[in-house]
Amino acid sequence: MMNVGGIYTDPFHAPITASANIFQVDAPWFGGIRILGRDTKDGPGKFLCIGCDDGFHFWVLTASFADETTGSVDMDFTPKAPGVGMLKCSYAPGALSFLEDDGKTVGNTWSRLRPTAGFDLTRETRFAAFNQFNGLYIDPDLYKPGSFAGIRVMSDRLGKIIRDELCVIGTDDGVEWWSIEGGSFTEKEAGSFCVGKLTGTCHNGVIQFEDGKEWIKMAAKSDLHSLPKDDA
């Protein structure tokens, strides 16, 4: 089974190529970040993508391997771009390429990023803002500088649509990335939610779980896009 999970950069939305975002936030920022994680609940070939274009709001798309032996992938962009619909992709370790109508020409490629020894999200400022749930988090009990271990990303948007269904993608070891969908708010104004077996409350950039553990939301201070690429 191909390890599709990881943090990818989309050159069409990365700070070095994208125009200024609506919040006037200078780079580095999370625009152009796409995080993929396996979703084995609905079959071994399915995976989720949580991405960000504007630096703040994280949306969800679904994808699946049409043929994992050849790396053929279908990703449904309908919720984000209705005119685009289902896109044919080709996956090779470290890169997801989007194909033109001829099924051969590559129109865009997301490259998986690799952490370096100096990469350390714990240096960042905790992020607290109007959008409580959406964001990139670390589990301080699992996070290891120089790796992606303990990273989680959460979203309540299917494409551009805010919804009550919640999703999370994460990794415990920095290598295998899992995903959980079908979550919901139990008390939205209070930030209380449940996703799979995860039950907690999000407030001021911190998620507190019933067992006392916490996830901390990170501000976009590290330039993730500058990390080396697996397919380089």
Cα distance between residue 87 and residue 74, in whole Å:
6
Buried b (16+ CB within 10 A) or exposed e, 32-67: bbbbbbbbeeeeebbbbbbbbbbbbbbbbbbbbbee
pTM of the model: 0.91
**Residue whose C-alpha is closest to residue 148's, from 123, 168, 121, 169:** 121
> Could you say which DSSP state residue 46 is in?
E
3-state secondary structure of 225: helix
Rg for the chain (alpha carbons), in Å?
17
d(CA 120, CA 96): 26
Classify residue 26 by its DSSP letter: P
* pLDDT at position 56: 77
Query: DSSP label at 21?
Result: P
What was the pLDDT predicted at 109?
A: 95
Would you say the C-alpha torsion 51, 177, 196, 135 has a positive or negative sign? negative
> DSSP states of 147-204 as a string?
S-TTEEEEEEEETTEEEEEEEEEEESSSS-EEEEEEEEEEEGGGTEEEETTEEEEEET
Per-residue pLDDT at 213: 94
- The CA distance from 19 to 40, in Å, is 37
The predicted structure's pLDDT at residue 23: 47
From the first residue on, what is the mean pLDDT of each consecutive set of 10 residues in the chain (232 residues)?
92 67 57 89 84 86 93 92 90 94 89 92 63 86 94 88 86 95 90 92 90 88 83 63
Coil, strand or helix: which one is 61?
strand
Cβ proximity of 49 and 34 under 8 Å: yes
